[in-house]
Chain A
Amino acid sequence: MNFSEIFKQSNQLCRISPDGRYLATCVQYRLVVRDVNSLQILHLYTCLDQIVHMEWSSDSLFILCAMYKRGLVQVWSLEQPDWHCKIDEGSIGLVSSRWSPDGRHILNTTEFHLRVTVWSLCTKAVSYIKYPKACQKGIDFSRDGSYMALAERRDCKDYVSVFVCEDWHLLRHFETETQDLAGLEWSPNGCVLAVWDSCLEYKVLLYSLDGRLLSSFSAYEWSLGIKSLAWSPSSQFLAIGSFDEKVRILNHITWKKITEFEHPATICSPKTVVYKEVEKRPALSIQDLSSHSVSSGCPLLAVQSKYEISQPPFQIPVVKPDLDRANPKVGVSSLAFSADGRYLATKNDNMASVVWVWNMQKMSLEAVLEQTAAVRCFQWDPRRPRLALCTGTPRLYLWSPAGSVSVQVPSEGGFQVHALSWHSNGDSLVLIGKEHLCLCYMDTEDKSTDSNIWTK
């Protein structure tokens, strides 16, 4: 495992291009494009204001930089560095900006979600979509990029509009039976649209591509409902994480619950492997502790850690949330299926430092990873069943069915990993800190050394 040097970034805007060749980062108002392998700066663009949002187009030819305060979107081209494009939303304001799947249209959402403007880079045509809903996830594109589902709200009723991305033709427009639609997501095969209600009501509605209601699922009434939702890559399962600390799996044939995954505070099953992160503080004498070394975060003081396998029964530290406040820190907030659909990683907010890995073939708990700090981000490798997670410490944690490993990110300035993102070929990771970023290259040739460090 190799680590690159630390680079500066701002707003955690670091994206690898979809074709995997470039890494784009934003530093204040500059956009830096590097080559992924050599990390050489290939292009440098300057925007008019601090970049708040940055996105690659699907063909990796253009980059969109949005500056919400100024209401500006600037588009840069990689092929032609001289080419420029600027979209000024004017007094109508800008709240969000994104690419369309064909990489030639930009969808800007105005302030107060008044409308969505579809700007085209190919023609002078501009389209407007009225009454978009301001919710957790109001727009979703199907995986093949042919359709867009948009949540709308008018007259205190929720609607879903399905557009054909080719020419923004409104395909279907139907009302949904939700109280307050919180989000929608296409299934990976593009045939089913899952629509879920806000947390005040547990309801998932499943619509077919042509707008027919296939099924509705509601696990319970009154208590706080759905917190997160994820489709399995084969579209076979729909995992719903809710505030009652459970994940319910629905099957795509009957849309009924086939199993429930609980997150109890005590794990007794002997088949589950529990990895507990254990910190090893280095022993230092007083002479070593000079004020300089302490302030600069000398690597000597870096706390090493490793995984230890704990024996059942295993107690998980639970933090009781304050239920009087809105959006309490309880329930399953993150769900992610591995690329082959065999594993599901979940995180329960009461037990923020624990990641649960479920085996979807056996429908049982495969592994539990307990960290010393709250888990901030986890993501599956796009190619193989390998999970990378970070907890805001200068360490990267990897889990695979072979075992798990804790890797220290070599840095001098105390680089804390706040977020991470995999390269599309699964061979490298972008580790994003508060103000810095680092690339981690996985060893693909020498697997044996890797296996030595795995804790199994």
Chain B
Amino acid sequence: MPESALEHQNTAGSAVVYRMSPLGHFSQSEAPSLSGHRSPFVLTSFCTEDNVLECRSYINQEVSSLGLRAVWTPTDGPAELNVVAVLNSLYELIQLHRQGLRALDDMEVERQRSASNTELLQLSNTRLKGQLELSKRENTSLLEKERQLQLKVKNLQSCLKNEKEEVQRLQNIIASRASQYNHDMKRKEREFGKLKERLNQLLVDKKEKKQAMEVLNYVERADGKRSMWKTGRTEARHEGEVYRTLLSDYDARQRELVLENSEQRKVLQQMKRDMVSLLRGSKPARREETPGDPQTQGDSEDSEEVFESSCVDAREKLTNSIRLKWRKLKSHMERLDSQASLVQAGEGAEPDAVPLETHGQEMERLKLEIQQCKDFIHSQQQLLQQRLTSPCEEEEAAAIPPGSPMQGEGGRPGERGRLGEDWRALEEQRTHFEKERKTFTEAAIRLSHERMMFEEDRATWLKHQFLHWTPFTDQNQPEMTEGEQEAASVFSPECLPGSPSPETSSSPRCQALQTQSTADPYRSLPPSPESSHSPTQPITINGCIGELPIGSSGGTATVRTQLTS
């Protein structure tokens, strides 16, 4: 019996699994077999001799949960089964099962029906969708047609309007012409009427007054000539006159046109030359031009040669060459433009192309530089101006900080009184400097003389020394100590007396600088034979800059720089 019950388990496998779940160990043990999918034909025993009671209670539970009568009641014996109840419940279960099967069949049928329904619906759906698509397309095409038709209608309406206007205009024209015709007609009719009257009058009127001319005496012709008979010769003469007039007119026109032509040709050739030079200048490396140029050069020469005859060929050649050049120029310009646009787009520029952007930037930069330079120059000029107008401030400033004499503190343009004072002080100083200069020049001359003398003395002394050379030269050493400080410098002692004096000969303005610079000549004296001639050089002091001997050039340089900073 368990086998027969288990036969149906595979059909409702999953439902049986869920029902069996409360019984933990059973479900687990039964699960592999009762899954139904894996092994539908394996029947395992649910109830064995060992677990009858448990099975019974389990069955009871299950049956009661299904709403059927209990299989076993405690009133029946503990180890016995109520067969009747069992059979009843079994019967009820079978009934239930049958019911379930029937329900299943029904549902199956229902499902199939609904499946077929859905299929049908799907089919109809697709069909309807297709129809919808079709109708949509038709709709759009119809809309399109309608739009086109509306456009046509609009066009036709405008045409109609134009035509109506045209008709109106023509009608107006017809009306004006008609009125003109009528007017003329009336005028002619009036004249006709007058003619008829006149004719009548003439017919009626017997006395006809003839045309006549009375003149006192005939006068001479304006040009004094006599009138001539009409002969063939006069006629020929007249014809000749006519043609002469016409020919002279044509001649004059021809001359004008020839002049105009030559001028135009000159202009064209000039243009051609300009274009050629332009193209050559911008593209020096273009090869394809060079074969063309000699040819066109030859053309131009040809055209100049045949200029006088001005034959059609030369004219055509010239115009063709001009056209060619112009086309080349245009293409060149286009290329330049495209290059410029490429550069703008960020790509690399060709080396010989001048992109507009960088060109513009260059211009801006240069302009800025120019502006800066101008400003600088302006400020320099201002400073110079200030310097010239206020030297005393500089002097004072120079006195205090030796390193920074020119701070531009002097010469505030607003303070006129102070400026006057400064001017006066400057004048005094100038005269003072003049005097000092004179004394210094004298001193320099004296110095040079002294130096010469000293040189001679030294020479004689050295000679004496060499001539009387002994190892024991102690008495000469103190005289040589200072000179031996210099590395092989024989002339340094001469500078000792020499250098302070030129330095002191400088302007007192440089006094403070001397402290700094006096040490320099001692250190930076280059041993130069020319320095022997230096004492002979006149020491000229120009205002504030002192020209010092070459021997103290280092000091000079430093002094100078400090003076002119």
Contact = CB atoms under 8 A, between A and B. Distances in A.
Interface of A: 58-59, 75, 77, 82-93, 102-104, 111-112, 117, 119-126, 146, 164, 166-167, 169, 171, 189-191, 199-200, 208-210, 222-224, 253, 323-328
Contacts of A124: 218
Contacts of B230: 167, 169
B378 interface: no
B241 A91 contact: no
Interface in B348-366: none
B243 interface: yes
B221 A102 contact: yes
Interface in B204-247: 205, 208-223, 227-228, 230, 234-235, 238-239, 241-243, 245-246
A164 B238 contact: yes
Given A91-B205, A125-B227, A189-B249, A210 B242 contact: yes
Nearest to B181: A200
A326 B227 contact: no
Contacts of B195: 112
Contacts of A253: 253
Contacts of B172: 323
B145 interface: no
A169 B218 contact: no
B183 A327 contact: yes
Given A104-B219, A208-B246, A119 B213 contact: yes
A112 B222 CA distance: 32
Contact of A91 (B209, B221, B234): B209
Contact of B210 (A85, A90, A208, A210): A90
Given A88-B209, A112-B191, A167-B228, A200 B235 contact: no
Contacts of B217: 83
Contacts of B234: 167, 169
Interface string B173-186: 10111011111100
B120 interface: no
B218 A121 contact: yes
B103 interface: no
Contact of B245 (A92, A120, A190): A190
B194 interface: yes
B179 A325 contact: yes
Contacts, number: 124
B121 interface: no
Contact of A85 (B211, B213, B241, B243): B213
**7 closest Cβ pairs, A-B complex:** A326-B183, A90-B209, A85-B215, A191-B249, A87-B213, A326-B179, A86-B214
A146 B227 contact: no
A85 B194 contact: no
B52 interface: no
Interface residues of B, number: 48
Nearest to A85: B215
A85 B216 contact: yes
B11 to A, nearest CB: 101
Contacts of B249: 189, 191
B218 A123 contact: yes
B83 interface: no
A89 B211 contact: yes
Nearest to B215: A85
Contacts of A222: 170, 173, 177
Interface of B: 170, 172-173, 175-177, 179-184, 191, 194-195, 198, 202, 205, 208-223, 227-228, 230, 234-235, 238-239, 241-243, 245-246, 249, 253
Contacts of A209: 242, 245-246
Contacts of A327: 180, 183
A111 B214 CA distance: 21
A224 B198 contact: no
A409 B209 CA distance: 48
B111 to A, nearest CB: 89
Nearest to A110: B211
B222 A123 contact: no
A86 to B, nearest CB: 5
Contact of B211 (A88, A146, A167, A328): A88
B221 A122 contact: yes
Contacts of B191: 112
Nearest to B169: A223
Contacts of A191: 245-246, 249
B245 A102 contact: no
B215 A121 contact: yes
A323 B214 CA distance: 50
Contacts of B194: 112
A200 B220 contact: no
Given A122-B227, A209-B245, A326-B182, A90 B218 contact: no
Contact of A224 (B176, B205, B239): B176
A14 B210 CA distance: 31
Given A91-B205, A164-B238, A83 B216 contact: yes
| Most interface-central of A84, A166, A327 (chain B CB within 10 A) | A166
A112 B197 CA distance: 12
Contacts of B227: 120, 122-123, 125, 167
Contacts of A328: 176
Contacts of A59: 222
A307 to B, nearest CB: 36
